[in-house]
Amino acid sequence: DSGVTQTPKHLITATGQRVTLRCSPRSGDLSVYWYQQSLDQGLQFLIQYYNGEERAKGNILERFSAQQFPDLHSELNLSSLELGDSALYFCASSVDLTGGRTQYFGPGTRLTVL
């Protein structure tokens, strides 16, 4: 158990809908990262937050957004969902801004868009 929690574990929804994925980092970790894992693309970095502020963006679509709250939990919002958004979404956390070698991953949320 990494100490990172994610809810829900599974999510099934329809195209065009909007969903929110939630992540609670390890106790004491200030940095949160979101990743998407699909069969064809592998694990792709989406976005990073540090202590409530956005710090880095990766291959995140404009239909996706995220935020980190004062209690350090983070939410990833996916809207206007398409079939291709079906994937595993992971949250990772690290104690500081640099992360790098010490990112700990949660169990993931499996999103299925029908």
Partner 1 sequence: QKEVEQDPGPLSVPEGAIVSLNCTYSNSAFQYFMWYRQYSRKGPELLMYTYSSGNKEDGRFTAQVDKSSKYISLFIRDSQPSDSATYLCAMSGGDSGGSNYKLTFGKGTLLTVNP
114 binds partner 1 (CB under 8 A): no
Helix (H), strand (E), coil (C) string for 61-92: CCCEEEEECCCCCEEEEECCCCHHHCEEEEEE
Least CB distance from residue 42 to partner 1, whole Å?
Answer: 4
Question: Which residues, listed in sequence order, are joined to residue 43 by a DSSP beta bridge?
Answer: 37
Binding mask 33-72 for partner 1 (x = CB under 8 A): x-x------xxxx--x------xxxx--------------
Q: What angle do CA 56, 89, 67 make, to 5 degrees?
A: 45
Write out the residues near partner 1 by the rule CB under 8 A.
Answer: 2, 4, 31, 33, 35, 42-45, 48, 55-58, 90, 92, 97-108, 110
